[in-house]
């Protein structure tokens, strides 16, 4: 199988990831629960993953890195723990339901009001809109780093500058960029960075987290066992424990730590260049095929390695099925949990077929995928 | 190392668990996201784990099994999603902070009122207290199946009978019993069973969940991407998706499914007998050592394979450290996130040293542990 669904989850991981999970499964106790060797080993492994992530994202320190099950949980923790009644929040058309639905829920219960920066037909925003939408009660800008549908990247440094200038919180969904596009929390002025472990970070599923700038206070979402301060009626107030209740996914975090260590060794810039090389070749190969429509902004390559397209009026699900069954190429059709983005692109009915590349894909695989699209377009 | 900290996490898992995780890590896509082979394989693996768990717990069906990161998350979902303002809830002194802290938070914000069934010095409850504490506004009984400190088991069928007779919800924390003590949701009248995957179920960390009786409505805790109904403003209303937002821990759930399959093959009754045999031998070996105090009710063996003790007035942390360093025996000292239980036992200052056994421990390991306690008691 040629796996081109890396924006959903990276299938191929470096060997060190599986090895780390395997070792953890055979030797690891419960992190922060007890002081015997295997519990301490677990605690050390978790701490070392925090260190690696803090380095990767230029987060303020390992204790500001909180582990969760996935980016959705991280976003729920941030969005439910930051705002007060009457706050106004700005988000964008590019968002995934993991951002939209928590915000909609807060809006529907009257907790916040919400404004959305629109995207045009290429999935691009006008950065002036962020500024224009700010009101006296605006508390935060919440946005993705890159659209999971088009691969368009938002200029975080620019948006972070606007947030900083107006004293706003800046919450970022880095699901599509963590590990494959450079992130510098400090330079970009990010208050809370939410990430998932199983995509660009090359870790196992069941991992993810938040990196939190110092001074940003998030109320606990889950509370419970903490391994420390057991006699306190309330969950410990200190990060990272403040936002981590119950036994951590020590086995998964060991794998995530190995994935991040691999990326630090390779360099995110090098990974990005490699992936973009593949995506660019694919884009060049398909963009002029008669009947093929490619979505997104390809006027520059500051983007992720995602190319979404349609062939004629074919349903994207049908095309994706044929690609899977006849060409053994895995892609993702449909709505991609990005309803507003599809509305902006005008693809709500048809959906789109998303090809997403990882550093483990090869130029040969790209050629086969181009060939498949060409053949399918001929049937149009 | 002799690992006797299985109540915190089981270190030794059956080979099939690591194999399943390994296979998943090499071949698995994102469950419910796409229809190519690796995504479907992931969906099938997750479904098969739901089936196995429904069989193990006699849950009403696989769609009533919801996956979470751990039992704490499951309990937070249940306790934050079931009650309305003014509800009264009954819990017990045996609870872990994963039950207590979510309930305290609801109490402190004025959402619920709370009554606690007291435990005596052996950690036992008077079942009549459940009935006596019921008021017109009582909505639920929330309790653990077994104390993580003493190993005392609560008679769920009896408590479930009381709940049923008064039309109350019955929420159970099965962290200490899932996989090692028979559970029959239907017979026991359990409304919501919360479990963790990495203890008696022999799965990886980062797994757990809830089994929900039909007709019990839990409001979503997290919302976000669901892979289906992407154009809906709200999270899908149907179980299990209703309570599962974001990418599932497919890799971990594959391992959990293998662990549960192993248990179904062995039979939970057989596992319980094996573990209790080890715990019983340990108890018999230490109970009469001068200076040793054992906590809990050992008048019968309807209990879990946990034996907590102290040696003279020694701090439990010190004893546990010496056991780890000089005898290479891993135990868990301190408060065990069970503050009310320690208060009932009178051990808040000293804590206790908890020995907890799994089916992979051996009689030889038990003898070594008894010998170690004997030697340490001599120093007293």
Are B76 and A22 an interchain contact pair (Cβ–Cβ within 8 Å)?
no
Q: How far apart are CA B6 and CA A85, in angstroms?
A: 44
Q: Considering only CB atoms, which chain B residues are within 8 Å of A11?
A: 27-29, 38
Strand partners, B173: B144, B194
Residue B366, Ramachandran bin (φ over 0: left; ψ between -120 and 50: alpha; else beta)? alpha
Sheet with A208-212, strands from edge to edge, namely A65-68, A208-212, A192-196, A169-173, A138-144, A87-92, A112-117
What is the structure's pLDDT at A379?
A: 74
Which of A141, A167, A164 shows the shortest CA–CA distance to A154? A141
A73 has a pLDDT exceeding 80: yes
Around Cβ A326, how many Cβ atoms within 10 Å? 11
- What rounded mean pLDDT belongs to chain A? 96
Q: Considering only CB atoms, which chain A residues are within 8 Å of B39?
A: 5, 8, 330
Q: How far apart are CA B350 and CA B204, in angstroms?
A: 32
Residue in A252, A335, A337 closest to B206 by CB: A252
For chain B, the domains span 2-11+268-375, 15-266
A34 has a pLDDT exceeding 90: no
The CA–CA distances, whole Å, from B271 to B17, B167, B254 equal 17, 34, 21
Length of chain B: 380
Residues of chain B scoring pLDDT < 50: none
What is the structure's pLDDT at A140?
A: 98
What is the structure's pLDDT at A227?
A: 82
What is the structure's pLDDT at A361?
A: 98
Give the closest-approach CA distance of B306 to chain A in angstroms. 16
A46 and A188 Cβ atoms separated by less than 8 Å = no
- Mean pLDDT for the stretch of residues A201-207: 98
State whether residue B87 is helix, strand or coil. Answer: strand
Q: Considering only CB atoms, which chain A residues are within 8 Å of B3?
A: 29, 38
- Nearest-CA residue of chain B relative to A221? B76
Are B21 and A26 an interchain contact pair (Cβ–Cβ within 8 Å)?
no
Q: Considering only CB atoms, which chain B residues are within 8 Å of A70?
A: 246-247, 249
Are B22 and A18 an interchain contact pair (Cβ–Cβ within 8 Å)?
yes
Are B9 and A247 an interchain contact pair (Cβ–Cβ within 8 Å)?
yes
Give the closest-approach CA distance of A279 to chain B in angstroms. 20
Q: Considering only CB atoms, which chain A residues are within 8 Å of B35?
A: 317, 320-321, 324, 333
Residue A380: pLDDT band with limits 50, 70, 90: low
**pTM: predicted TM-score of the whole model, two decimal places:** 0.97
Which candidate in A16, A23, A34, A258 is best for mutational testing of the B interface (most B CBs within 10 A)? A34
Residue A37: pLDDT band with limits 50, 70, 90: confident
A243-287 confidence digits (pLDDT tens): 999 999 999 999 999 999 999 999 999 999 999 999 999 999 999
Q: How far apart are CA A254 and CA A38, in angstroms?
A: 13
Residue in B25, B205, B329 closest to A250 by CB: B205
Q: What is the sign, positive or negative, of the torsion defined by CA atoms of B21, B25, B27, B30?
A: positive
What is the structure's pLDDT at B227?
A: 82
What is the structure's pLDDT at A36?
A: 83
Residue in B33, B226, B248 closest to A97 by CB: B226
A349: exposed, middle or buried (Cβ count in 10 Å: 0-12, 13-18, 19+): exposed
Q: Is the reported ipTM for this assembly greater than 0.90?
A: yes
CATH code for the domain defined by B2-11+268-375: 3.90.1150.10
State whether residue B14 is helix, strand or coil. Answer: coil
Are A18 and B27 an interchain contact pair (Cβ–Cβ within 8 Å)?
no
Strand partners, B66: B210
Residue in B37, B101, B324 closest to A223 by CB: B101
Which candidate in A42, A223, A322 is best for mutational testing of the B interface (most B CBs within 10 A)? A223
Q: How far apart are CA A55 and CA B356, in angstroms?
A: 38
Which of B95, B106, B39 shows the shortest CA–CA distance to B72? B95
A35 has a pLDDT exceeding 80: no
Q: How far apart are CA B230 and CA B212, in angstroms?
A: 25
Sheet with B138-144, strands from edge to edge, namely B65-68, B208-212, B192-196, B169-173, B138-144, B87-92, B112-117
Are B71 and A97 an interchain contact pair (Cβ–Cβ within 8 Å)?
no
What is the structure's pLDDT at B344?
A: 97
| Residues near A375 by beta carbon (within 8 Å), at least 6 away in sequence | none
Q: Considering only CB atoms, which chain A residues are within 8 Å of B247?
A: 8-9, 70, 72, 196, 198, 205
A271 and A247 Cβ atoms separated by less than 8 Å = no
Residue A40: pLDDT band with limits 50, 70, 90: confident
- Give CA B131 to chain center in angstroms: 24
Q: How far apart are CA B1 and CA B15, in angstroms?
A: 19
Are A255 and B17 an interchain contact pair (Cβ–Cβ within 8 Å)?
no
What is the structure's pLDDT at B380?
A: 59
Q: Considering only CB atoms, which chain A residues are within 8 Å of B196?
A: 246-247
Q: How far apart are CA A20 and CA B25, in angstroms?
A: 12
Are A97 and B17 an interchain contact pair (Cβ–Cβ within 8 Å)?
no
CATH topology for the B15-266 domain: 3.40.640
Which candidate in B246, B248, B318 is best for mutational testing of the A interface (most A CBs within 10 A)? B246
A43 has a pLDDT exceeding 70: yes
Are B231 and A348 an interchain contact pair (Cβ–Cβ within 8 Å)?
yes
What is the structure's pLDDT at B29?
A: 82
Q: How far apart are CA A47 and CA B55, in angstroms?
A: 38
Q: Considering only CB atoms, which chain B residues are within 8 Å of A198?
A: 30, 247
- Nearest-CA residue of chain B relative to A23? B18
A6-25 confidence digits (pLDDT tens): 999 999 999 999 999 999 99
Q: Considering only CB atoms, which chain A residues are within 8 Å of B223?
A: 76, 101-102, 105
Pick the CATH number of A2-11+268-378 from 3.90.1150.10, 3.40.50.1110, 3.40.50.720, 1.25.40.10: 3.90.1150.10
Q: In CATH terms, are A2-11+268-378 and A15-266 the same topology?
A: no
What is the structure's pLDDT at A30?
A: 79
Place of tokens 């751990």: B70
Are B73 and A246 an interchain contact pair (Cβ–Cβ within 8 Å)?
yes
What is the structure's pLDDT at A245?
A: 94
Are B97 and A11 an interchain contact pair (Cβ–Cβ within 8 Å)?
no
Q: Considering only CB atoms, which chain B residues are within 8 Å of A330?
A: 29, 34, 36-39
Which of A63, A57, A101, A94 shows the shortest CA–CA distance to A80? A101
- Nearest-CA residue of chain B relative to A22? B18
């Amino acid at each position: 199988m040629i796996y081109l669904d890396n924006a959903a989850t990276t299938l191929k991981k470096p060997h060190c990831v599986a090895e780390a999970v395997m070792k953890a499964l055979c030797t690891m106790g419960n992190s922060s629960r007890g002081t015997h060797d295997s519990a301490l080993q677990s605690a050390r492994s978790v701490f070392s993953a925090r260190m690696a992530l803090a380095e990767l994202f230029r987060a303020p320190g390992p204790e500001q890195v909180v582990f969760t099950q996935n980016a959705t949980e991280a976003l729920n923790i941030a969005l439910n723990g930051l705002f007060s009644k009457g706050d106004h929040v700005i988000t964008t058309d590019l968002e995934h339901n993991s951002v939209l639905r928590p915000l909609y829920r807060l809006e529907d219960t009257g907790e916040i009001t919400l404004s959305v920066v629109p995207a045009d037909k290429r999935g691009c925003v006008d950065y002036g809109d962020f500024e224009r939408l700010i009101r006296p009660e605006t508390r935060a800008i919440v946005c993705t780093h890159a659209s999971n549908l088009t691969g368009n990247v938002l200029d975080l440094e620019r948006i972070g500058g606007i947030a900083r200038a107006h004293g706003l919180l800046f919450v970022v969904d880095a699901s599509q960029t963590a590990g494959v596009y450079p992130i510098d929390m400090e330079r970009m002025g990010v208050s809370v960075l939410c990430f998932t472990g199983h995509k660009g970070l090359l870790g196992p599923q069941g991992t993810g987290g938040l990196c939190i700038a110092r001074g940003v206070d998030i109320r606990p979402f889950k509370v419970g066992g903490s391994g420390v301060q057991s006699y306190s009626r309330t969950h410990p107030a200190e990060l990272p424990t403040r936002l981590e209740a119950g036994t951590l996914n020590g086995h998964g975090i060991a794998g995530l730590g190995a994935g991040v260590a691999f990326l630090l060794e390779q360099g995110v810039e090098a990974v990005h260049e490699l992936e973009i090389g593949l995506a660019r070749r694919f884009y060049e190969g398909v963009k002029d095929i008669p009947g093929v429509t490619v979505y997104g902004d390809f006027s520059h390559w500051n983007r992720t390695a995602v190319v979404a397209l349609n062939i004629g009026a074919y349903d994207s699900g049908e095309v994706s099925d044929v690609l899977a069954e006849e060409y053994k190429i895995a892609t993702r059709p449909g709505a991609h949990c990005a309803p507003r983005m599809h509305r902006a692109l005008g693809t709500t009915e048809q959906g789109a077929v998303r090809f997403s590349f990882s550093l483990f894909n090869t130029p040969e695989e790209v050629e086969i995928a181009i060939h498949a699209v060409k053949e399918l377009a001929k049937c149009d």
